[in-house]
Amino acid sequence: MFTKEDIAQIEGRGSSVQTVADQVERFKKGFPWLKIVAPATPEKGIAVLDDEAAEAAVKYYESAKIDGKCKFVPASGAASRMFKDLFSGLDNLEAGKEIAPESPAAKFVAQICSFAFYTPELFGEKPCACPEYQKSVLAKTLREEGLGYGSKPKGVLKFHKYTDGEIRTAFAEHLVEAQNYMRNEDGTANLVVTISPEHRHLFEEAYAAVKEEYEARYGVKYNITFTYQDKATDTVAVDVENRPFRTETDSLLFRPAGHGALIYNLNNLQEEVVSIKNIDNVANERLLPETAKWKKVLLGKALELRDQIFGYLKELDIATNKTVGEVVNADIPGLVGLGNDDIYQSDAVQSLCADIEAFLEKELCIKMPVATDCKARVEALYAKLNRPIRVCGMVKNQGEPGGGPFIIAEKDGSTSLQVLESVQINMEDEQARQALASATHFNPVDLVCCLHNYKGESFDLLKYVDADAGFISSKSYQGRELKALELPGLWNGAMSNWNTLFVEVPLATFNPVKVVLDLLRPAHQN
C-alpha cells in the first residue's frame, strides 16, 4: 500500500507506517455509534446550583490546596470561517453582481463603524451602500493590503473597543480573565495557548503590546507558553474507495485531525488544575464578574469532586492493605486479623463499595454493572475512581450548533456522562433521535480539569482516550472528493474515560464569535 517515498514521508512527519495503516483501516470499518441512554438534563445528569451552593463552590475553590493552575486556550487556525460570508459577498461584487441588503456582507459594511477594528483612515467616515464602497470595505477587511483578517487567527483580531479608547484582541481578553480567576498564590497566571507555527509572530506581537500594561494594572505576572498541534497527529486522507489519497505529485495527503489532537498538548502540562475555554468565547470586561464567578464555581465543584474521590481511593487502599503512609488494614475495625483473600469479602470493604457505587451513580451518573466477585468489584470501582476529572459548564440550548451532554452506555456495562457531537449520534436510531430532540442543554466548551492522581502524580491522559469516538467527514482537495479522519475530540472522546460532572452555567457566560457579525452582539459592545 505504501511506497518507499510514502514511508519516508510518513516517518518524516514523526508518525509510523503502522499508525497510518490503522487510519486507513479505520476508514474502511468506520466508527461504532455510541449507545445513548438519555440526554443529561437537570432531572438527571446536570447539576443546577442555587445561589447558596454556587457561593459555597466559589469559597471551596478559593481555600483549596492546588498544585499549580493553568489556563489552556485552543487558538490554532485562521479565522476564515468567521469571514466566510464576507468572502462570498466580495466575490459577488468583484464579479459585477450586487449583494442583497439583508446579506451578512451588506450588514457588515453598513455597521463597519461599530467594529473595534474600524478606523476612518482605512474605511472612511461615512459608510454607504454603493457597490464600490462595499467592495472596498470587504477587501480592506479581508486582504493583506488592508487588515488581512481573512488569513489571520481569531486570537489576534480586534474584538472589543472600550469607552476610554482601549482596543483588545480576543487573546488580550483571555489575559484579563486569567489574572482574575486563575491566579496562583505567588501572583502568577499561567496560560498555554495552542497556535499554528506560522502565526506565532502575530501572537507574540499581540502579547508584547499589552504585557507590561496589564501586569502593572492587575498586579500579575504572566507566564505564557505558545504550543503547536503536533504534525505527527495529522491523519491521512483517503479517496471515496478508501485508498490513500494522493496529490498531484503522487504524495500522501495528511490533514489536521481536529482539536482531539490537543490531548497531547494537554498531557504535557505539569499543573494540577487546568481551565479550558475556546479563544473566541470572551466578552467585554464589564461582564467579567459574572464570567469569573461561574468559572470559580466550576473550579470549586471540580476540587470538591477531586477531594471526594481522593478520600474514597485512600479508604480503598487502606481497607485492602495497600498502605497509605503508615496505615494498614490492621488498624481498621472489622479487618483485624484478616488475610488478603478475605479482606475483599469483609463487611467493611463491601459496605465501602456500596457507598462508592451510590456516590458514582448519584453524582456522576455512573451506574456500575452488578459484580459477582468481591475482589473484581473493588478493582472495578478503584479503576473508575482513579481517573482524570473534568467539570463541564452547560448552558440552556438556544439552537447553537455543536455538541451536547448525554448519558451513554459504556463497553464495560456501566454508564457515563459524555459530550457528543451531532455526527456521533445515529439518526436512524429512534432512541437516539428522541434523546437528541429532548436534550435541554448545549456544550459551550467551558471546562475545568484535574490532572493529578491522589498521590500527586500526573495522569497519562493518552490512556483515557476512547479511540472509537472519532468520526469521518467528507472534504475536497482541488475539486476532488476525499474522506478525512478526525481524532476523538478534546472534550469528547479524548476525555471519554474521565470522571465527568456537568454543571449548568448562565447564558451570559457564553459569548462565542463564530461569524464576524457576532461582534455586534451586546456582550461585545460597550
- Three-state secondary structure call for residue 203: helix
**Helices and strands (DSSP H and E) totals, the chain:** 15, 18
pLDDT one-digit tens code per residue, 146-192: 999 999 999 999 999 999 999 999 999 999 999 999 999 999 999 99
Task: Set out the domains of the chain in order of their start, with CATH numbers.
Answer: 30-79+154-308+385-524 (3.90.550.10), 81-151 (no CATH), 309-384 (no CATH)
CB 35 within 8 A of CB 408: yes
> What's the DSSP call for residue 429?
S
Picking from 402, 405, 440, 435, the residue whose alpha carbon sits closest to that of residue 421 is: 402
Query: What is the rounded CA–CA span in Å between residue 165 and residue 149?
Result: 21
Instruction: Read off the pTM.
Output: 0.92
pLDDT at 400: 65
pLDDT at 340: 56
pLDDT at 375: 87
214-221 contact pairs (CB < 8 A, 24+): 214/172, 214/175, 214/176, 214/179, 218/176, 218/179, 218/180, 219/187, 220/178, 220/179, 220/183, 220/187, 220/188, 220/189, 221/186, 221/187, 221/188, 221/189
pLDDT at 321: 66
pLDDT at 74: 96
Low-confidence ranges of the chain (pLDDT < 70): 321-341, 400-402
pLDDT above 90 as % of the chain: 82
State the cell numbers at 188.
502568577
